[in-house]
Amino acid sequence: MENIIVKIFRESSEVKERFLNDNLLKIVEVVEVLTAALKGGNKILLFGNGGSAADAQHLAAEFVNRFLIERPPLPAVALTTDTSVITSIGNDYDFSEVFAKQIRALGIAGDVAWGISTSGRSRNVIKGLEQARRMGLVTVGLTGGDGGEIKGIVDYLLNVDSTSTPRIQEVHITVGHVICQLVDLRLFQRPDPV
């Protein structure tokens, strides 16, 4: 059993190292885009399915409440939380529309649509990102594997080069926390005393 535990931790570390090497400058770009949107009075709309839905909710909470420093709340909405909206869209239309319709209702040009999909192939995430692009939102994809269809439709792609869903999700929440911390620093850092 100990060998399995060690193997899992090593795999997680290796996938994170590869992701960092492949995406360092892209992470900086995403931080700058989010910071600019928030400074401009816009919001972040996060969405995904299953574990990615949980990540969307987790990250929205970090922005709205606080991350590491005391600061004003930042506007972020997880499109995965309103069961009445999600089930009515799924029932009356199709589950593939659950994020696109919410983006149509809530999104405005300049907002950031942040879709999360471990495969890059989640139909409802793809449709949400496509709708966001049509409306002039900035689009960010957080994916795994080869990035799937999402890699070709987003402005900014952070892709985890792995096919292991647990390892991809571990990187997703790590990079999400990194982004939250850096957005806080960019928006609220105090100048060093002279």
Domains in the chain, start-ordered, CATH in brackets?
2-188 (3.40.50.10490)
pLDDT tens digits for range 128-154: 999 999 999 999 999 999 999 999 999
Which tokens hold the place of 150?
Answer: 């999402």
Main-chain phi, psi angles of 137, to 5 degrees: -80, 150
Q: What is the pTM of this model?
A: 0.94
- 108-122 average pLDDT score: 98
